[in-house]
Amino acid sequence: MEFSTSTTTTLQTLKTQALAVGIFQDGILSPAADVLDQASGGAIRAVVQSEFDAVPGAILTLHNPAGVTADRIILLGLGRQDSLTAATLAKAHQAFAAYCVRAGVGTAASALCALNVHDANLADCARTTARLVSAAVYRYDRTFSQAKPAVKLRSFVLHLSRAQAAQAKTALAQGAAIGAGVNLARLLGDLPPNLCTPTYLGQTARDLAKQFKTLKAEVLDRKKIEALKMGSFLSVAQGSVEPPAFIVLRHTPSAPAARKAAPIVLVGKGITFDAGGISLKPGPGMDEMKYDMCGAASVLGTMRTVAELDLQREIIAIVPSCENLPSGTALKPGDIVTSMSGQTIEILNTDAEGRLILCDALTYAERFKPAAVIDVATLTGACVIALGHVNSGLFSQDDTLADELLAAGRQAQDPAWRMPLEDAYQDLLKSNFADMANIGGRPAGSISAACFLSRFTGKYRWAHLDVAGTAWLEGKQKGATGRPVPLLTQFLLGQCSA
């Protein structure tokens, strides 16, 4: 996908198969729409008054408009003019991109980013637009007997003033790279668990390291994991014949001066299929447990974006990956395991396995003396109950880090909501037989899970993102979303410019 800006061509003479302009409610035309209306002899105003309700997300196509070079004018609803937000602009571009893909459009242009929104700047809007358009061209066809027809959309242009175009150029490149990272995360999530195994994730990391010279991959096998005494991680892996993998993917920036700062570490939960172990999950919906590695997928997707942009900060991804299955060798309720940190854990429920693999990864992260560690995991159904499918859950004892991540989520249109993490919740994890239990009961389930992880993060700044409600869609729209790649990338962009 090629993204560019147009500044010299007048809007009515812009050659493209689809040209998008904004319409506000109460029949108010955006400046770009007004230009095209005058060129077409009032065709736009006439159709707006007769049949178009410009609510956010509404879309209407005018074919072969008189006086305009574009094959189609696409009217996009923007709601009330006095309350235009970046989210409304993003919704409109999402609808436009989806239309272009459905209609087989090869070239498209939009004048929407020239509009002022009160809660974002032009760069933010351009970055989000490129990311959403990139996401629109994603097609999963890996396991169909016949390939789906190729998406024709190959070029997307923002029509802007010369000054605006200068602001948008870098942001468009960033958005395209974020979109590529999102789509990698979506592909990894959508692949079936018999293909996307821990070994496959390890090979994905190696492939990324071959593709981008700033990346270096290391994949530890069971023997090396045992040597590190990761007893908690291995206890989950012991129920499956599929070998575990402990993946380390390291981005070293091209500029030597940028290598002096302490690295930022991303940790992603990589359970490539979660049957619950001996604490077996109910059958309905269990197919969606292939998405229990979406934390790992989002971290690998983020690293792809980081490498393409060559962010000037050392970034390290850690992915502990295995399956959680019931078998004669599987972890049992009542077992006690010893983590890499030396802390012991009583297993009360084998379906609370994500924290068991993450805790050893969080201990492993200490060796890098990181500036911050952020783990990403489809960790708890309780977080879905608390926040639904809109916000990812954010947990941290560091206010500054939490605020930076929340701000990055708002800026990237990939929101998170901060959840409590007071010490009083730690009592839920008390055990009569070990240093801690691996669950704390039904009340505050997502919080007690975060409390568990916090016990392994005392040597650095840390935040936890529970993406159980945001990493994939259910039902007829079932598929991975690629979240929180936009949030993570926006945070890292901010850290590089700080």
Enzyme catalytic residues: 281, 355
CB hemisphere CA count around 115 (13 angstroms)? 29
Q: Are 92 and 56 in contact (CB under 8 A)?
A: yes
CA 131 to chain centre: 11
| Residues across the chain | 498
Integer angstrom CA distances of residue 337 from 238, 432, 438: 12, 14, 10
What region does 475 belong to: left with phi over 0, alpha with psi -120 to 50, or beta? left
Integer angstrom CA distances of residue 329 from 214, 222, 302, 332: 40, 16, 35, 9
Instruction: Please write down the HEC assignment for all residues of 433-456.
Output: CCCEECCCCCCCHHHHHHHHHHCC
User: What stretches of 253-351 show up as alpha helix (H) in DSSP?
Assistant: 294-309
CA 116 to chain centre: 26
Pairing of strands 2-6, 155-159: parallel
The amino acid occupying position 177 is A
Q: For residues 227, 232, 238 and 244, what is the CA-based torsion angle, rounded to 10 degrees?
A: -60
Distance CA 340, CA 361 (A): 9
Distance CA 208, CA 32 (A): 42
The amino acid occupying position 25 is Q
Burial 478-489 (b: 16+ CB within 10 A, else e): eebbbbbbbbbb
Retrieve residue 415's tokens: 């929101």
Question: Across the strands, what pairs with 220?
Answer: 246
